Amino acid sequence: MIRPVGQAVGLAWASALALGLAAAGRGAPAPSATPTEVVVIGTSHFIPLLHHEGYTPAHLRALLEKAAPDVLAVEAPANVPFRWDGTPLDLQLVAKPWADERGVAVQPAAWQETDYQARWAAMHQALQAKGRWAQYQKVEQQFAADSAACPATCEGMNSDALLAAWRRYGQDLRRLHEADTPWDEWNGRILAAVLDVCRRHPGRRVAVVFGAAHAVFLLDGLATAGGVKVVPARTLLPLDPKAVEANARPTDYLKALLPLNFWTVSPADLERVRPWLAKVKAVPALHPDYDLFFGKYLLHQGRLEEALAQFRKVGGWDGGAIMAFDGKTPLREGGLMWTAIALMKMGRPDEARRTLEALLKTAGVTAETEQAARQMLAGLPIPPAEETQPSVP
Protein backbone atom coordinates (compact mmCIF):
# COMPACT_ATOMS: atom_id res chain seq x y z
CA MET A 1 0.00 0.00 0.00
CA ILE A 2 1.21 3.50 -0.83
CA ARG A 3 0.82 5.91 2.07
CA PRO A 4 0.10 9.64 1.55
CA VAL A 5 3.35 11.39 0.75
CA GLY A 6 2.95 14.02 3.42
CA GLN A 7 2.59 17.75 3.65
CA ALA A 8 5.54 18.56 1.36
CA VAL A 9 3.77 17.25 -1.72
CA GLY A 10 0.22 16.72 -0.51
CA LEU A 11 -2.74 14.50 -1.20
CA ALA A 12 -2.88 15.59 -4.84
CA TRP A 13 0.38 13.77 -5.49
CA ALA A 14 -0.87 10.69 -3.65
CA SER A 15 -3.86 10.57 -5.99
CA ALA A 16 -1.59 11.00 -9.00
CA LEU A 17 0.51 8.09 -7.77
CA ALA A 18 -2.58 5.96 -7.24
CA LEU A 19 -3.64 6.84 -10.79
CA GLY A 20 -0.21 5.81 -12.05
CA LEU A 21 -0.29 2.50 -10.23
CA ALA A 22 -3.75 1.77 -11.57
CA ALA A 23 -2.79 2.71 -15.14
CA ALA A 24 0.31 0.56 -14.98
CA GLY A 25 -1.50 -2.32 -13.32
CA ARG A 26 1.26 -2.55 -10.71
CA GLY A 27 1.72 -2.25 -7.00
CA ALA A 28 4.44 -1.13 -4.65
CA PRO A 29 7.16 -3.54 -3.55
CA ALA A 30 6.08 -5.77 -0.69
CA PRO A 31 7.94 -5.08 2.58
CA SER A 32 10.86 -7.45 3.09
CA ALA A 33 13.62 -8.05 5.59
CA THR A 34 16.10 -6.53 3.13
CA PRO A 35 14.65 -3.43 1.44
CA THR A 36 15.42 -2.52 -2.14
CA GLU A 37 17.90 0.37 -2.08
CA VAL A 38 17.10 3.06 -4.63
CA VAL A 39 19.58 5.76 -5.69
CA VAL A 40 17.83 8.55 -7.62
CA ILE A 41 20.28 10.30 -9.97
CA GLY A 42 19.16 13.48 -11.71
CA THR A 43 20.82 14.24 -15.04
CA SER A 44 20.70 16.59 -17.99
CA HIS A 45 19.74 14.81 -21.19
CA PHE A 46 22.29 16.80 -23.16
CA ILE A 47 25.43 16.22 -21.11
CA PRO A 48 27.02 14.17 -23.94
CA LEU A 49 26.80 17.19 -26.24
CA LEU A 50 27.07 20.24 -23.98
CA HIS A 51 30.01 18.91 -21.98
CA HIS A 52 29.43 21.35 -19.11
CA GLU A 53 32.57 21.22 -17.01
CA GLY A 54 30.55 20.43 -13.88
CA TYR A 55 28.45 17.62 -15.38
CA THR A 56 30.11 15.70 -18.18
CA PRO A 57 29.59 12.08 -19.21
CA ALA A 58 32.58 11.29 -16.99
CA HIS A 59 30.71 12.69 -13.96
CA LEU A 60 27.71 10.46 -14.64
CA ARG A 61 29.93 7.38 -15.07
CA ALA A 62 31.80 8.18 -11.86
CA LEU A 63 28.53 8.68 -9.98
CA LEU A 64 27.14 5.39 -11.29
CA GLU A 65 30.39 3.70 -10.31
CA LYS A 66 30.06 5.09 -6.78
CA ALA A 67 26.39 4.10 -6.57
CA ALA A 68 27.33 0.52 -7.58
CA PRO A 69 23.83 -0.53 -8.69
CA ASP A 70 22.66 -4.02 -9.57
CA VAL A 71 19.97 -2.59 -11.86
CA LEU A 72 19.37 0.68 -13.73
CA ALA A 73 15.81 1.99 -14.00
CA VAL A 74 16.00 4.39 -16.93
CA GLU A 75 14.03 6.97 -18.87
CA ALA A 76 12.77 4.66 -21.60
CA PRO A 77 8.99 4.05 -21.85
CA ALA A 78 7.79 0.87 -20.15
CA ASN A 79 4.34 0.96 -21.79
CA VAL A 80 5.33 0.69 -25.47
CA PRO A 81 7.41 -1.81 -27.45
CA PHE A 82 10.98 -1.33 -26.29
CA ARG A 83 13.42 0.60 -28.47
CA TRP A 84 16.46 2.71 -27.65
CA ASP A 85 16.30 5.26 -30.46
CA GLY A 86 14.44 8.31 -29.29
CA THR A 87 15.44 7.87 -25.65
CA PRO A 88 17.42 10.69 -23.95
CA LEU A 89 21.02 11.11 -25.04
CA ASP A 90 22.42 10.72 -21.53
CA LEU A 91 20.84 7.27 -21.51
CA GLN A 92 21.81 6.25 -25.04
CA LEU A 93 25.38 7.50 -24.96
CA VAL A 94 26.41 7.23 -21.30
CA ALA A 95 24.24 5.27 -18.85
CA LYS A 96 23.32 2.30 -21.03
CA PRO A 97 26.83 1.73 -22.43
CA TRP A 98 28.19 1.98 -18.87
CA ALA A 99 25.72 -0.67 -17.71
CA ASP A 100 26.32 -2.92 -20.73
CA GLU A 101 30.07 -2.92 -20.11
CA ARG A 102 29.52 -4.10 -16.54
CA GLY A 103 26.67 -6.51 -17.08
CA VAL A 104 24.24 -4.33 -15.10
CA ALA A 105 20.60 -4.92 -16.04
CA VAL A 106 18.80 -1.95 -17.65
CA GLN A 107 15.04 -1.70 -17.14
CA PRO A 108 12.67 0.80 -18.82
CA ALA A 109 10.85 2.85 -16.18
CA ALA A 110 9.43 5.87 -17.99
CA TRP A 111 5.94 6.26 -19.43
CA GLN A 112 4.88 7.46 -22.86
CA GLU A 113 2.04 9.98 -22.72
CA THR A 114 0.21 10.40 -26.04
CA ASP A 115 -2.00 13.33 -25.04
CA TYR A 116 0.29 15.17 -22.64
CA GLN A 117 0.47 18.44 -24.60
CA ALA A 118 -3.28 18.48 -25.12
CA ARG A 119 -3.88 18.11 -21.38
CA TRP A 120 -1.42 20.93 -20.62
CA ALA A 121 -3.28 23.12 -23.11
CA ALA A 122 -6.58 22.26 -21.40
CA MET A 123 -5.10 23.20 -18.02
CA HIS A 124 -3.92 26.53 -19.42
CA GLN A 125 -7.40 27.22 -20.78
CA ALA A 126 -8.91 26.38 -17.39
CA LEU A 127 -6.54 28.77 -15.62
CA GLN A 128 -7.42 31.54 -18.08
CA ALA A 129 -11.14 30.87 -17.61
CA LYS A 130 -10.71 31.19 -13.83
CA GLY A 131 -8.83 34.47 -14.23
CA ARG A 132 -5.62 32.98 -12.87
CA TRP A 133 -3.35 33.39 -15.87
CA ALA A 134 -1.36 36.25 -14.35
CA GLN A 135 -0.81 34.18 -11.20
CA TYR A 136 0.30 31.24 -13.33
CA GLN A 137 2.86 33.41 -15.13
CA LYS A 138 4.24 34.53 -11.75
CA VAL A 139 4.61 30.87 -10.74
CA GLU A 140 6.56 30.16 -13.92
CA GLN A 141 8.77 33.20 -13.38
CA GLN A 142 9.46 32.21 -9.78
CA PHE A 143 10.39 28.68 -10.81
CA ALA A 144 12.66 29.98 -13.57
CA ALA A 145 14.48 32.13 -11.01
CA ASP A 146 14.70 29.35 -8.41
CA SER A 147 16.00 26.74 -10.86
CA ALA A 148 18.44 29.15 -12.51
CA ALA A 149 20.03 29.71 -9.10
CA CYS A 150 21.06 26.04 -9.06
CA PRO A 151 24.25 25.41 -11.07
CA ALA A 152 24.14 22.90 -13.92
CA THR A 153 26.71 20.72 -12.16
CA CYS A 154 26.36 17.16 -10.93
CA GLU A 155 25.98 18.52 -7.39
CA GLY A 156 23.58 21.27 -8.46
CA MET A 157 21.27 18.95 -10.37
CA ASN A 158 21.07 16.61 -7.37
CA SER A 159 20.84 19.31 -4.71
CA ASP A 160 18.22 19.98 -2.07
CA ALA A 161 17.86 23.47 -3.55
CA LEU A 162 16.77 22.19 -6.97
CA LEU A 163 14.45 19.64 -5.36
CA ALA A 164 12.90 22.44 -3.32
CA ALA A 165 12.41 24.55 -6.46
CA TRP A 166 10.57 21.72 -8.21
CA ARG A 167 8.56 20.93 -5.07
CA ARG A 168 7.43 24.53 -4.70
CA TYR A 169 6.60 24.73 -8.40
CA GLY A 170 4.39 21.66 -8.17
CA GLN A 171 2.62 22.92 -5.05
CA ASP A 172 1.92 26.30 -6.66
CA LEU A 173 0.53 24.71 -9.82
CA ARG A 174 -1.75 22.37 -7.87
CA ARG A 175 -2.99 25.28 -5.78
CA LEU A 176 -3.90 27.29 -8.87
CA HIS A 177 -5.35 24.34 -10.78
CA GLU A 178 -7.10 22.90 -7.70
CA ALA A 179 -6.25 19.42 -8.95
CA ASP A 180 -3.40 17.24 -10.11
CA THR A 181 -1.61 18.69 -13.12
CA PRO A 182 -0.74 16.65 -16.23
CA TRP A 183 2.84 16.71 -14.93
CA ASP A 184 1.70 15.10 -11.64
CA GLU A 185 -0.26 12.43 -13.48
CA TRP A 186 2.63 11.64 -15.79
CA ASN A 187 5.09 11.38 -12.94
CA GLY A 188 2.65 9.18 -11.05
CA ARG A 189 2.87 6.67 -13.88
CA ILE A 190 6.65 6.97 -13.98
CA LEU A 191 6.86 6.33 -10.24
CA ALA A 192 4.63 3.29 -10.68
CA ALA A 193 7.00 1.96 -13.33
CA VAL A 194 10.03 2.56 -11.06
CA LEU A 195 8.28 0.80 -8.19
CA ASP A 196 7.60 -2.12 -10.51
CA VAL A 197 11.34 -2.40 -11.22
CA CYS A 198 11.95 -2.38 -7.46
CA ARG A 199 9.28 -5.05 -6.93
CA ARG A 200 10.99 -7.28 -9.48
CA HIS A 201 14.41 -6.86 -7.84
CA PRO A 202 13.80 -7.18 -4.08
CA GLY A 203 16.76 -6.56 -1.84
CA ARG A 204 18.94 -5.26 -4.70
CA ARG A 205 20.31 -1.78 -5.34
CA VAL A 206 18.51 0.09 -8.12
CA ALA A 207 19.89 3.32 -9.63
CA VAL A 208 17.13 5.44 -11.14
CA VAL A 209 18.68 7.60 -13.88
CA PHE A 210 16.24 10.28 -15.05
CA GLY A 211 16.20 13.93 -16.04
CA ALA A 212 16.52 16.05 -12.89
CA ALA A 213 13.00 17.44 -13.41
CA HIS A 214 11.54 14.08 -12.34
CA ALA A 215 13.74 13.62 -9.25
CA VAL A 216 11.50 15.29 -6.64
CA PHE A 217 8.50 13.18 -7.61
CA LEU A 218 10.54 9.99 -7.50
CA LEU A 219 12.27 10.79 -4.21
CA ASP A 220 9.10 11.92 -2.43
CA GLY A 221 7.09 9.00 -3.77
CA LEU A 222 9.72 6.37 -3.06
CA ALA A 223 10.21 7.71 0.49
CA THR A 224 6.72 6.48 1.42
CA ALA A 225 6.77 3.15 -0.41
CA GLY A 226 7.10 -0.01 1.64
CA GLY A 227 10.09 -2.22 0.99
CA VAL A 228 12.23 0.63 -0.35
CA LYS A 229 15.17 2.49 1.15
CA VAL A 230 15.98 5.75 -0.64
CA VAL A 231 19.63 6.75 -1.07
CA PRO A 232 19.70 10.37 -2.35
CA ALA A 233 22.43 10.98 -4.91
CA ARG A 234 23.61 14.00 -2.93
CA THR A 235 24.88 11.60 -0.24
CA LEU A 236 27.36 10.25 -2.82
CA LEU A 237 28.63 13.71 -3.74
CA PRO A 238 30.98 15.42 -4.28
CA LEU A 239 32.84 13.10 -6.61
CA ASP A 240 36.56 12.55 -6.43
CA PRO A 241 38.11 14.55 -9.31
CA LYS A 242 40.45 11.62 -9.97
CA ALA A 243 37.45 9.31 -10.39
CA VAL A 244 35.90 11.76 -12.84
CA GLU A 245 39.14 12.02 -14.79
CA ALA A 246 39.45 8.22 -14.89
CA ASN A 247 35.96 7.97 -16.39
CA ALA A 248 36.58 10.49 -19.19
CA ARG A 249 36.82 9.10 -22.73
CA PRO A 250 38.17 10.66 -25.92
CA THR A 251 34.81 10.11 -27.63
CA ASP A 252 33.22 12.37 -24.98
CA TYR A 253 35.17 15.27 -26.43
CA LEU A 254 34.37 14.20 -29.97
CA LYS A 255 30.61 14.20 -29.34
CA ALA A 256 30.91 17.57 -27.59
CA LEU A 257 32.02 19.04 -30.95
CA LEU A 258 28.37 18.92 -32.08
CA PRO A 259 28.01 22.76 -32.16
CA LEU A 260 30.39 22.78 -35.14
CA ASN A 261 27.67 20.98 -37.14
CA PHE A 262 25.44 24.06 -37.02
CA TRP A 263 25.30 26.56 -39.86
CA THR A 264 26.52 29.36 -37.62
CA VAL A 265 28.56 29.16 -34.40
CA SER A 266 29.22 32.00 -31.97
CA PRO A 267 32.81 33.06 -31.22
CA ALA A 268 32.29 31.93 -27.61
CA ASP A 269 31.32 28.42 -28.72
CA LEU A 270 34.28 28.28 -31.08
CA GLU A 271 36.60 29.11 -28.21
CA ARG A 272 34.88 26.55 -25.99
CA VAL A 273 35.40 23.64 -28.40
CA ARG A 274 39.03 24.43 -29.21
CA PRO A 275 40.57 22.41 -26.33
CA TRP A 276 38.23 19.50 -27.12
CA LEU A 277 39.53 19.43 -30.69
CA ALA A 278 43.05 19.10 -29.27
CA LYS A 279 41.98 16.14 -27.12
CA VAL A 280 40.45 14.41 -30.14
CA LYS A 281 43.57 15.05 -32.20
CA ALA A 282 45.66 13.37 -29.51
CA VAL A 283 43.96 10.01 -30.21
CA PRO A 284 45.25 8.41 -33.47
CA ALA A 285 42.10 6.31 -33.91
CA LEU A 286 40.02 9.51 -34.04
CA HIS A 287 42.20 11.35 -36.59
CA PRO A 288 39.69 10.92 -39.46
CA ASP A 289 36.92 12.50 -37.35
CA TYR A 290 39.36 15.16 -36.21
CA ASP A 291 40.12 16.09 -39.83
CA LEU A 292 36.42 16.55 -40.53
CA PHE A 293 35.66 18.58 -37.39
CA PHE A 294 38.81 20.66 -37.71
CA GLY A 295 37.57 21.56 -41.18
CA LYS A 296 34.26 22.70 -39.64
CA TYR A 297 36.20 24.74 -37.09
CA LEU A 298 38.17 26.44 -39.85
CA LEU A 299 34.97 27.07 -41.80
CA HIS A 300 33.37 28.85 -38.85
CA GLN A 301 36.54 30.89 -38.46
CA GLY A 302 36.15 32.07 -42.03
CA ARG A 303 39.26 30.23 -43.24
CA LEU A 304 37.35 28.81 -46.20
CA GLU A 305 40.17 27.56 -48.43
CA GLU A 306 41.80 25.69 -45.53
CA ALA A 307 38.44 24.22 -44.55
CA LEU A 308 37.77 23.10 -48.12
CA ALA A 309 41.13 21.31 -48.20
CA GLN A 310 40.23 19.46 -44.99
CA PHE A 311 36.83 18.39 -46.31
CA ARG A 312 38.26 17.18 -49.61
CA LYS A 313 40.80 15.15 -47.67
CA VAL A 314 38.03 13.41 -45.72
CA GLY A 315 35.91 13.05 -48.86
CA GLY A 316 38.67 10.97 -50.33
CA TRP A 317 38.50 8.34 -47.59
CA ASP A 318 37.51 4.78 -48.42
CA GLY A 319 33.74 4.40 -48.49
CA GLY A 320 33.80 1.80 -45.71
CA ALA A 321 35.35 4.04 -43.04
CA ILE A 322 32.72 5.12 -40.48
CA MET A 323 32.62 8.23 -38.31
CA ALA A 324 33.35 7.55 -34.65
CA PHE A 325 31.13 10.57 -33.93
CA ASP A 326 27.89 8.69 -34.59
CA GLY A 327 29.08 5.19 -35.41
CA LYS A 328 27.10 4.96 -38.63
CA THR A 329 27.89 7.68 -41.20
CA PRO A 330 30.66 6.93 -43.72
CA LEU A 331 33.45 9.48 -43.45
CA ARG A 332 33.42 9.96 -47.21
CA GLU A 333 29.78 11.12 -47.05
CA GLY A 334 30.62 13.63 -44.33
CA GLY A 335 33.59 14.94 -46.30
CA LEU A 336 31.56 15.41 -49.49
CA MET A 337 28.62 17.05 -47.69
CA TRP A 338 30.88 19.57 -46.00
CA THR A 339 32.83 20.12 -49.20
CA ALA A 340 29.53 21.21 -50.76
CA ILE A 341 28.74 23.46 -47.78
CA ALA A 342 32.16 25.11 -48.01
CA LEU A 343 31.70 25.69 -51.75
CA MET A 344 28.29 27.25 -51.13
CA LYS A 345 29.79 29.59 -48.52
CA MET A 346 32.53 30.48 -51.01
CA GLY A 347 29.96 31.46 -53.65
CA ARG A 348 30.67 28.47 -55.91
CA PRO A 349 27.21 26.88 -56.29
CA ASP A 350 27.98 25.00 -59.52
CA GLU A 351 30.84 23.10 -57.86
CA ALA A 352 28.65 22.48 -54.82
CA ARG A 353 25.95 21.03 -57.08
CA ARG A 354 28.40 18.69 -58.80
CA THR A 355 29.74 17.53 -55.43
CA LEU A 356 26.24 16.75 -54.14
CA GLU A 357 25.28 14.96 -57.36
CA ALA A 358 28.40 12.81 -57.08
CA LEU A 359 27.53 12.06 -53.48
CA LEU A 360 24.01 10.92 -54.42
CA LYS A 361 25.46 8.53 -56.98
CA THR A 362 27.53 6.81 -54.29
CA ALA A 363 26.41 3.22 -53.72
CA GLY A 364 24.80 2.71 -50.32
CA VAL A 365 24.52 6.39 -49.38
CA THR A 366 22.75 6.62 -46.02
CA ALA A 367 19.16 7.83 -45.92
CA GLU A 368 20.00 10.81 -43.69
CA THR A 369 22.78 11.99 -46.01
CA GLU A 370 20.62 11.50 -49.09
CA GLN A 371 17.82 13.59 -47.60
CA ALA A 372 20.21 16.37 -46.56
CA ALA A 373 21.92 16.40 -49.95
CA ARG A 374 18.61 16.64 -51.81
CA GLN A 375 17.48 19.49 -49.59
CA MET A 376 20.71 21.35 -50.28
CA LEU A 377 20.37 20.73 -54.02
CA ALA A 378 16.84 22.12 -53.96
CA GLY A 379 18.17 25.36 -52.51
CA LEU A 380 20.90 25.84 -55.10
CA PRO A 381 20.31 27.99 -58.19
CA ILE A 382 19.65 25.99 -61.35
CA PRO A 383 22.46 26.36 -63.93
CA PRO A 384 21.33 28.25 -67.09
CA ALA A 385 21.58 25.12 -69.24
CA GLU A 386 19.10 23.35 -66.97
CA GLU A 387 16.49 26.11 -66.80
CA THR A 388 13.13 25.25 -68.30
CA GLN A 389 12.79 26.77 -71.78
CA PRO A 390 9.48 28.39 -72.82
CA SER A 391 7.44 26.25 -75.16
CA VAL A 392 7.20 27.32 -78.83
CA PRO A 393 3.64 27.85 -80.05
Q: What DSSP line would sit under 239-294, residue for residue?
A: PPHHHHHHT--HHHHHHTTGGGGSS---HHHHHHHHHHHHHHHT-GGGHHHHHHHH
> Tell me, what's the pLDDT at 12?
47
Walking along the chain (393 residues) 10 residues at a time, the average pLDDT comes out as 33 51 56 84 91 92 98 95 86 96 97 94 97 97 97 96 97 96 96 96 96 96 92 94 96 94 91 94 95 97 97 84 91 94 95 95 90 94 60 40
| Per-domain boundaries in the chain | 11-242, 250-380
CATH 1.10.15.40 fits 250-380, yes or no: no
By C-alpha distance, which of 72, 81, 83, 76 is closest to 109?
A: 76
Give the list of residues 6+ apart from residue 55 with CB closer than 8 angstroms, or none: 43, 44, 47, 152, 153, 154, 156, 157
> Tell me, what's the pLDDT at 134?
97
What pTM was computed for the model? 0.83
